[in-house]
């Protein structure tokens, strides 16, 4: 099995919908660090698992310097954005979305928990 990871820094804004009082319900921004892991048993015709440029394009085109609430149709928490990114990137099985220093969320696709522990 082959593995690749890509780390990106993005700037984005969002507003959370919460059932409790929080300053996060107001429009605010983050400089996030997103790390994506992909795997495949076989390499594609170009000898790759997933092209690093394709990973960057998917994330940047949808989130970087944008308003996450307009990019997705769910409450754009770090947890939900991690899952969404995992579903957008080919061969992705794990995403860590570090919203800010000290605050990170991870999503691991079902069936990949053991592999994720090794990486």
Say what the pLDDT of residue 110 is.
85
User: What are 91-101's pLDDT values in tens digits?
Assistant: 999 999 999 99
User: What are 41-87's pLDDT values in tens digits?
Assistant: 999 999 999 999 999 999 999 999 999 999 999 999 999 999 999 99
CATH of the domain at 83: 3.30.479.10
pTM: predicted TM-score of the whole model, two decimal places: 0.92
Contacts of 29 (CB under 8 A, 6+ apart): 11, 12, 13, 14
Number of domains in the chain: 1
**19 or 114: which leads in pLDDT:** 19
Domain that holds residue 64: 2-118
From CA 50, how far away is CA 43, in angstroms rounded? 8
3-state secondary structure (DSSP) of residue 4: strand
Pairing of the two strands 2-14 and 66-67: parallel
Say what the pLDDT of residue 112 is.
74
Q: Are 38 and 90 in contact (CB under 8 A)?
A: yes
């Amino acid at each position: 099995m082959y593995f690749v990871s890509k780390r990106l820094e993005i700037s984005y804004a969002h507003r959370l919908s919460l059932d409790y009082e929080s300053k996060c319900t107001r429009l605010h921004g983050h400089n996030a660090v997103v790390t994506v892991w992909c795997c495949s048993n076989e390499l594609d015709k170009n000898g790759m698992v997933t092209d690093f440029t394709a990973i960057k394009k998917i994330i940047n085109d949808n989130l970087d310097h944008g308003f996450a609430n307009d990019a997705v149709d769910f409450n754009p928490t770090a947890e939900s954005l991690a899952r969404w990114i995992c579903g957008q990137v080919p061969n992705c099985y794990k995403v860590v979305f570090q919203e800010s220093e000290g605050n990170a969320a991870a999503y691991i696709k079902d069936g990949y928990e053991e592999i994720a522990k090794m990486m």
